[in-house]
Amino acid sequence: MFALMPPAPHVGDARYDNDRRVFRDTRALEGSPRWKMAADDAELGTAAMLKHFSCSLGMELTPQQAPRMVALAQKATRDATQAMAKAKDYYKRQRPFHIDEGNICVARSTVGDSFDYPSGHTTAGWSWGLVLAQVAPENGNAILARGRAIGDSRVVCGVHNASAVEAARLLTSSTMALTTATPEYQADLAGARAELAALRAGQYAKPEPARCAEEAALVKIP
């Protein structure tokens, strides 16, 4: 599957040089609201993912409230992660802060010696975005923008190169194209849509408008 995406950049090609430039340029965001958002986006637990997408969904949900939707997103993420992990181990590309000097938005111990290409966090964020956009297509544009921002956050944070984020989105989209065609996925999708409709018909918590307005502005910052 990872043969569908371009190979990792190497010394001497334009993509490699662009990655270095983007890393150096985005160090200027340190301490900004977008930098803080990037640090928050590093959390990928289920509750955190629901929080990340709450503004775009227009609902504050817990895993217990939406088990079908959560299960669908988790399965899609697992499928995409398998391909991502194989590619990451194959290319063994260094992360940007190992190539150029610069601070990152999380503790370096949380990254360890793992590799750059493609990005695992982008895989998760884009998987959730693609699934939730299908569950709630009326909110699709906002959901996909938020899913994209989770990948962009890895560049802002400095823990992934821009090419690693782009490759993860392509790989995840390719995996999802095959997954969504199965009858099993379509049945689970129908169940998740019914679950969301029932939640919307009842009482539910709405995200704080001021937080959502700030998020909407930050999502536009690469």
Tens of pLDDT, residue by residue over 160-194, are 999 999 999 999 999 999 999 999 999 999 999 99
Q: Which residues of 85-120 are buried (b: 16+ CB within 10 A; e: fewer)?
A: eebbeebebebbbebeeeebbeeeeebeeebbbbbb
pTM tops 0.75, yes or no: yes
Phi, psi of 60 (to 5 degrees): -95, 110
- The set of residues, in sequence order, having a beta carbon less than 8 Å from that of 144 and lying 6+ positions away, is 129, 130, 133
For residue 143, CA distances in Å to 127, 132, 146 come to 11, 7, 5
Query: At 95, which amino acid appears?
Result: R
Burial-class residue 20 by CB neighbours within 10 Å (0-12, 13-18, 19+): middle
Q: Residue 68: in which H helix or E strand, if any?
A: helix 67-91
Sign of CA dihedral 49, 139, 178, 70: positive
The CA distance from 63 to 163, in Å, is 32
For residue 27, CA distances in Å to 23, 42, 91, 162 come to 7, 17, 25, 13
3-class SS shares of the chain: helix, strand, coil, % to 5? 70, 0, 30
pLDDT digits (tens, 9 = 90+) for 38-72: 999 999 999 999 999 999 999 999 999 999 999 99
pLDDT digits (tens, 9 = 90+) for 102-160: 999 999 999 988 999 999 999 999 999 999 999 999 999 999 999 999 999 999 999 99
